[in-house]
Amino acid sequence: MLRLPLFAGAVRKLLREIESSGSGEHVLAVGGADELAPVLRQQLLRGRAEAGAVRLGDPEGADVYVHVLAGEFADADVAVLRRARRARAPAVAVAVGFAEEAALPYVLATDIVSVRAGEPFPLERIARTIAARLGEDGAPLAARVPLLRQAVCEQLIRSFARKNGAVAAAVWIPGADLPVLAFNQLRLVLRLAQAHGADDARGLAPELAATLGACFGLRALAREAVDLIPGAGWAVKGAVAYAGTRALGEAARRRFEPAVTPRPAAASRGAP
């Protein structure tokens, strides 16, 4: 069972954390190739992004820095990526005209998006790479840059579903995993709300109450399933927690979505 006073204190702390993370100006910076970086910036502003949410320039002060490369890698590229590392701005590279297995300094291999010369920018793939790189920290940026929202929400739902599936499968003491599962589900719902521009997390009381109710419902379902499949309790609990958290996340996303945001298809203009 949940120890309510202790759990309520943890939820208050979570609300303060989410509200604090949403404060300030969250910015995506784009730099690199002089001809292509402005094109990519303009395309990332689609979907009614806030003015100033995507800017051209250096990585300092940005939530994430996207560096566009065109055909070759110069010392200037190394210098700006080094500045991104020093500024603790996660760096994503869009490599136009490079080999698929290109390796770049200061950029993880998983954070390189390769584009063939002459092809449009793959905005959906770029958005997914940014979302994977930022994790939870992508939620406040997605509120300002709608083109990132789909990818960020998908990343959040996958991540929290995996966490809860692992917790439920690993904890053997009956009921000991419930506070962790409930807390993770509340955190997921709050982050999804933040990604959709909900500035006041304390105004989400109905959604949070429904989330707690769903958590108890999933717990009851898991217990019944364990009784039906003896000997595989850990797998059953993990599967119920994973699937239940995913379903809860998808429902919350639909709840917070004010309107259908078009998925970022390939842009009409890209590399020359």
pLDDT in tens, 132-155: 999 999 999 999 999 999 999 999
pTM score: 0.85
Q: To the nearest 10°, report the CA torsion of 249, 201, 139, 237.
A: -30
Q: Which amino acid is at 152?
A: V
Pick among 3.40.1130, 1.20.1110, 3.40.50, 3.60.70: CATH of 28-147: 3.40.50
The model's pLDDT over 66-111, given as tens digits with 9 standing for 90+, comes to 999 998 888 999 999 999 999 999 999 999 988 767 788 999 999 9
Q: Are 153 and 142 in contact (CB under 8 A)?
A: yes
Q: What is the pLDDT of residue 130?
A: 98
Task: Collapse the DSSP code of 170 into the 3-class scheme (helix H, G, I; strand E, B; otherwise coil) and give the result.
Answer: helix
3-state helix, strand, coil split of the chain in percent (to 5) is 60, 10, 30
pLDDT at 170: 79
Provide the 8-state DSSP code for 173.
S
> Domain segments of the chain: what residues?
4-22+149-256, 28-147
**Degrees (nearest 5) of the Cα angle 84, 139, 69?**
35
Q: What is the pLDDT of residue 263?
A: 47
DSSP string, 179-206: HHHHHHHHHHHHHHHHHTT---GGG-HH
Q: What pLDDT is attached to residue 133? A: 96
Amino acid letter at 101?
E
CB neighbourhood size of 2 (10 A): 16
Q: What is the mean pLDDT of each run of 10 residues along the chain (272 residues)?
A: 60 86 91 95 92 93 96 90 96 88 87 92 97 96 96 97 88 70 92 87 78 76 62 72 91 79 48 44
